[in-house]
Chain A
């Protein structure tokens, strides 16, 4: 990779997400200086001023590395995703939102009208005249526009072609640092890029692999919420204690942070390698440990998982095979 004496260009963008990914990048501490030393940061709205038209003026493929975080929720997100795709050699779906929809993707359980209504006309927002934002508004100076919300939130790869995925909510800082290191090595010709489409900055088995808790054959008669168990056995697999822990189906790479400190894994690192639908893996994991053969008893045990859809698709709904609730499709 020759760069004609110029530093390769770096960009980072924030679409429908909470901003935690940006913080996580800053969280790599002095590694951030390596980024500055090795890259020319050309576009990073949260950290420096930039205009979309500057990006539009760049040559196609002139940005070496773009870390794109956030899902595609509105037409602005979509526009920038397509723009950055054109301008970047390597486009990384950075974090759970861009990779699989994450928490913003849970909005796919509701139709758009309901989402807007909830935001602008609920207990916390006094809106007696039911005034809702309009996409376009004429003022003397001309037309004002705000981005138009789309039917459902989509992960980045449903909108543009993605080179690599970095899971996590947010990606762990040590993983970000490792990826930055790798790209710098590639720039210097000391390493090879992994095959396109790879997940980077994560492991290739599951959270259980890194989890220190002891595991046995699992047979449970009851699912419980973690706060309803006192005390939680600090050394035994949480699922064996009846807590629906998503660890068995969730990709490794976080060092089992949550189960390590006594909270169940909720699945932010997404599915393991080669899995087509994350929720299906959890459905089968949870149903496999139930010790019952009669439908009534199985149902009683399943009642211990109050929100099964949320439980198995908390981070992955928009990236799942079904992508959304049916109601979310219907809205114009």
Chain B
């Protein structure tokens, strides 16, 4: 046997040693795996401690180990630790294998004999495999200092500003005509009751005028190619039918446009806009957008009122969609959320009972710049409600809809209660399951609303109906609910119901994720690299997620995440290059016969067919190392480093104990 292998079995305190007889495993490895080249096997209390690492380094140096197996926790935790230790001792880091006997053995089994036997098999598999490991070198690729931020809500704006302020260029892409996102629609922000526009618009203006930010609104990313440090992104700039060079944003076109359209996006369907419009007064950029679907000229070929009156001839009916190609090194996704569609909870009557409002509708109602100039009135546009019911958890924490808590709805419901109380003096009821006010100054706000006299009913609302049973219910909306604190059913008649709707992943999150090569959780939010220690990175190097794209959260958390992702991006930019895992596939051209079966298998377009030589070739920089083509090649001409056929076959044999003398059961 040419290899000299060291096996190190970790106690992990009692985490492993409590269930696995680690001494026995080490002894067994030394005895039974000697034929495979194991020359030393030790057990130690904490392998990952500096003393444990020194133990390995010492053996590498003194015994001339050529391979190392560490039987400890999951490789996702400490693989890097032990690889670095090996490197420090002069051994190529890829000649180290981790055998997981904690997450995969001691933590999930209870029978000591069984767990010990399984640990031996796991070690045997790792030893067989490590023999087939080959020394690898990390691949270094340069980092393009430009960054793409997708989504111009507060999280995306924050990300873009951080990077731009550090002196690097950012492309900020927004699907809507203006940046600002959901926050631009809000009236007040909890718990401080700052005016949302007052705190947001300066940031929007800053982003819109920053020399390091290229703002691309009314635009969408349509294709992403490449890899960390070197993404090539195609952006579709939809035709605005406005020449941005000439437009001054004076607003005359909007004034003169004869076509009124219900504004379903910004005004949540409560107000009107024109067919040529800027969504709101402080829009950034301030150029309007022509709504082709509703413009009379596009419909009938006549009108052109806007063109007639435009003082700078900026209207351009012949404008076409443009495709832009930009090269960036990192991408931050700040694509936000969709509001839960309250129509789905049919028993709450939204869409059927006119005076049931969604949270977004209420935000527009209470907003001084909204359709009612901030007057809280019923659907008829004039009646001020005398009693209002606010229902929490609409669509959230509900097995029929979304299991998760949407984080912001409790505070949102409390904010609504305060605003209604303040502006109408109406009696306000809040119906909640649990009150979740767990951040700075949040619970104090709850106390304040309590003191203001808002009535709280703990219980899930069964239905909102207009079917009156008693005289006091005539013409009202009746909230039928359980009151768990009083232990009874209640019927509470009110004039107005506000549904504190939850948040949902964007309807197209899956497709967007696919385009950027990241995955969604079961709930549909983008999946972060680590739920605790890396909540802004993703499994795909160079792609970051911030704000509600990653999961429901409030404004401060979105801002913090935006800044955090930017720090990660800046770190990459300043390093100038990034080391890529050397797990790659390569084609042995001697054996490749150009059957082209692999050509259709790579989602990263790493496989190219060289027609002149009649062979396929893999671009190592584009290859992400999944190994699908390795497994697919019918000629066995493609091999993969780090997960080669030889390694895996050896591991299978090792796990099945086919390389040892018979072991007594």
Where the two chains meet, the residues of A that have a C-beta atom closer than 8 Å to any C-beta of B are 204-210, 215-219, 237, 239, 247-249, 252, 271-276, 281-282, 284-285, 288-289
Closest to A216 in B: B596
Q: Please give, as numbers and ranges, the residues of chain B lying within 8 Å of A215 by CB-CB distance.
A: 594-596
Q: Please give, as numbers and ranges, the residues of chain A lying within 8 Å of B633 by CB-CB distance.
A: 281, 284
Q: Please give, as numbers and ranges, the residues of chain B lying within 8 Å of A209 by CB-CB distance.
A: 593-594, 614
Which one of A210, A288, A289 has the greatest number of beta carbons of chain B within 10 Å?
A: A288
Q: Does B453 contact A (CB under 8 A)?
A: no
A252 to B637, CA, bound (A): 13
CB distance from B73 to the nearest CB of A (A): 32
Whether A205 pairs with B591 at a CB distance below 8 angstroms is: yes
Whether A217 pairs with B596 at a CB distance below 8 angstroms is: yes
Q: Does B368 contact A (CB under 8 A)?
A: no
Contact of A276 among B592, B601, B645 (CB under 8 A): B645
Q: Does B649 contact A (CB under 8 A)?
A: yes
Q: Please give, as numbers and ranges, the residues of chain B lying within 8 Å of A206 by CB-CB distance.
A: 593, 595, 634-635
List 30 contacting pairs A-B, 8 Å CB cutoff, sorted by A. A205-B590, A205-B592, A205-B635, A205-B637, A207-B593, A208-B593, A208-B594, A209-B614, A210-B593, A215-B595, A215-B596, A217-B596, A217-B599, A218-B597, A239-B597, A248-B597, A248-B634, A249-B635, A252-B593, A271-B636, A272-B635, A273-B591, A274-B591, A275-B636, A281-B633, A281-B634, A281-B635, A284-B631, A284-B633, A289-B600
A271 to B593, CA, bound (A): 13
Q: Does B598 contact A (CB under 8 A)?
A: yes
Closest to B596 in A: A215
> Contacts A272-B636, A288-B600: A208 and B595 contacting too (C-beta < 8 A)?
yes
Contact of A274 among B592, B600, B601, B636 (CB under 8 A): B636
Given contacts A208-B635, A247-B595, 10 further A-B contacts (CB under 8 A): A206-B634, A210-B593, A215-B596, A219-B600, A237-B596, A239-B597, A249-B634, A252-B593, A272-B591, A284-B632
Q: Please give, as numbers and ranges, the residues of chain B lying within 8 Å of A288 by CB-CB distance.
A: 597-598, 600-601, 632
The 8 closest A-B pairs by CB, nearest first: A209-B593, A285-B634, A249-B634, A248-B634, A248-B595, A208-B595, A208-B593, A205-B593
Q: Which of B618-635 contact A (CB under 8 A)?
A: 631-635
A272 to B635, CA, bound (A): 6
Q: Please give, as numbers and ranges, the residues of chain B lying within 8 Å of A204 by CB-CB distance.
A: 590-591
A209 to B609, CA, bound (A): 14
- The proximity string for B residues 600-616 relative to A, scoring 1 for CB distances below 8 Å and 0 otherwise, is 11000000010000100
Q: Please give, as numbers and ranges, the residues of chain A lying within 8 Å of B637 by CB-CB distance.
A: 205, 272
Closest to B601 in A: A288
CB distance from A250 to the nearest CB of B (A): 9
Closest to A281 in B: B634
A248 to B595, CA, bound (A): 6
A281 to B600, CA, bound (A): 17
A275 to B593, CA, bound (A): 15
> Contacts A205-B592, A208-B595, A209-B593: A273 and B600 contacting too (C-beta < 8 A)?
no
Interface residues on B, range: 20 to 34
Whether A218 pairs with B634 at a CB distance below 8 angstroms is: no
CB distance from A123 to the nearest CB of B (A): 39
A136 to B594, CA, bound (A): 55
Whether A248 pairs with B635 at a CB distance below 8 angstroms is: yes
Where the two chains meet, the residues of B that have a C-beta atom closer than 8 Å to any C-beta of A are 590-601, 609, 614, 631-637, 645, 649
Q: Please give, as numbers and ranges, the residues of chain A lying within 8 Å of B634 by CB-CB distance.
A: 206, 248-249, 272, 281-282, 284-285
A237 to B637, CA, bound (A): 20
A207 to B591, CA, bound (A): 11
CB distance from A312 to the nearest CB of B (A): 11
A209 to B600, CA, bound (A): 19
A281 to B635, CA, bound (A): 7
A45 to B609, CA, bound (A): 51
A276 to B632, CA, bound (A): 14
Whether A218 pairs with B632 at a CB distance below 8 angstroms is: no
Closest to A246 in B: B634
Q: Please give, as numbers and ranges, the residues of chain A lying within 8 Å of B593 by CB-CB distance.
A: 205-210, 248, 252
Q: Please give, as numbers and ranges, the residues of chain B lying within 8 Å of A248 by CB-CB distance.
A: 593, 595, 597, 634-635
Q: Please give, as numbers and ranges, the residues of chain A lying within 8 Å of B631 by CB-CB distance.
A: 284
CB distance from A248 to the nearest CB of B (A): 4
A288 to B633, CA, bound (A): 9
Closest to A289 in B: B597
Q: Please give, as numbers and ranges, the residues of chain A lying within 8 Å of B591 by CB-CB distance.
A: 204-205, 272-274
A284 to B637, CA, bound (A): 13
CB distance from A315 to the nearest CB of B (A): 15
A274 to B591, CA, bound (A): 10
A215 to B616, CA, bound (A): 12
Whether B636 pairs with A273 at a CB distance below 8 angstroms is: yes
Which one of B590, B596, B598 has the greatest number of beta carbons of chain A within 10 Å?
A: B596
A285 to B590, CA, bound (A): 19
A289 to B591, CA, bound (A): 20
Q: Please give, as numbers and ranges, the residues of chain A lying within 8 Å of B600 by CB-CB distance.
A: 217-219, 288-289
CB distance from B618 to the nearest CB of A (A): 15
Q: Please give, as numbers and ranges, the residues of chain A lying within 8 Å of B592 by CB-CB distance.
A: 205
Whether B594 pairs with A276 at a CB distance below 8 angstroms is: no
Q: Please give, as numbers and ranges, the residues of chain A lying within 8 Å of B599 by CB-CB distance.
A: 217-218
Q: Please give, as numbers and ranges, the residues of chain A lying within 8 Å of B594 by CB-CB distance.
A: 208-209, 215
A210 to B632, CA, bound (A): 20
Q: Please give, as numbers and ranges, the residues of chain A lying within 8 Å of B614 by CB-CB distance.
A: 209
Which one of B593, B600, B601 has the greatest number of beta carbons of chain A within 10 Å?
A: B593
A289 to B598, CA, bound (A): 9
Closest to A210 in B: B593
A104 to B196, CA, bound (A): 81
Closest to A273 in B: B591
> Contacts A205-B637, A285-B634, A288-B632: A276 and B595 contacting too (C-beta < 8 A)?
no
CB distance from A291 to the nearest CB of B (A): 9
CB distance from A169 to the nearest CB of B (A): 19
CB distance from A221 to the nearest CB of B (A): 13
Which one of B596, B635, B637 has the greatest number of beta carbons of chain A within 10 Å?
A: B635
CB distance from B134 to the nearest CB of A (A): 16
Q: Please give, as numbers and ranges, the residues of chain A lying within 8 Å of B596 by CB-CB distance.
A: 215-218, 237
Q: Please give, as numbers and ranges, the residues of chain A lying within 8 Å of B632 by CB-CB distance.
A: 284-285, 288
Q: Please give, as numbers and ranges, the residues of chain A lying within 8 Å of B636 by CB-CB distance.
A: 271-275, 281
CB distance from B163 to the nearest CB of A (A): 38
CB distance from B173 to the nearest CB of A (A): 29
Which one of A205, A252, A272 has the greatest number of beta carbons of chain B within 10 Å?
A: A205
CB distance from B116 to the nearest CB of A (A): 30
A206 to B636, CA, bound (A): 10
A59 to B120, CA, bound (A): 49
Q: Please give, as numbers and ranges, the residues of chain A lying within 8 Å of B601 by CB-CB distance.
A: 288
A263 to B174, CA, bound (A): 56
CB distance from A269 to the nearest CB of B (A): 12
Closest to B649 in A: A276
CB distance from A200 to the nearest CB of B (A): 17
A218 to B597, CA, bound (A): 6
A276 to B592, CA, bound (A): 17
CB distance from B563 to the nearest CB of A (A): 39
A205 to B638, CA, bound (A): 12
A280 to B345, CA, bound (A): 51
CB distance from B647 to the nearest CB of A (A): 13
CB distance from A265 to the nearest CB of B (A): 11
